[in-house]
Amino acid sequence: MSTNDNNGNDGEKRTPKLNERILSSLSKRTVAAHPWHDLEIGPEAPKVFNVVVEITKGSKVKYELDKKTGMIKVDRILYSSVVYPHNYGFIPRTLCEDNDPLDVLVLMQEPVLPGCFLRARAIGLMPMIDQVMYMLHL
């Protein structure tokens, strides 16, 4: 295909300049995937399922999923000597009595960054009461 770039140059199709490409990409509306609603639980569930990591193994920072935006936000900092012993997260597309997704403690050797997802399988169940739910039951 032959084009003319108004400078008398016949030849290849004109490639937009970098600033045109940047402006074009900024004008396109994009929506980020929501890790709770948009990520599948996994084709092999309930045997093997996806887990979104919220808190990294060894961290003193408690992160939490912001339900509205789907971003992982800082909830609080642990100022004691306590750290999270394992990666902690949730199973997408699940809902528990506390209106949060099902919590998961991922037992593995390596820390995983918040917001990443991985495949896991259940080896047990540990009933827990959320601090807010505990206060409501008093």
7: left (phi over 0), alpha (psi -120 to 50) or beta: alpha
pLDDT confidence of residue 1: 46
Going from the N-terminus, what domains does the chain have, and what CATH number goes with each?
A: 49-124 (3.90.80.10)
- Which helix (H) or strand (E) covers residue 10, if one does? strand 10-11
Residue in 63, 79, 84, 88 annotated catalytic = 84
Predicted confidence (pLDDT) at residue 4 exceeds the cutoff of 70? no
Dist CA 129 CA 4 (whole Å)? 70
Catalytic residue at 134? no
pLDDT confidence of residue 30: 60
Predicted confidence (pLDDT) per residue in 72-115, tens digit = 999 999 999 999 999 999 999 999 888 889 999 999 999 999 99
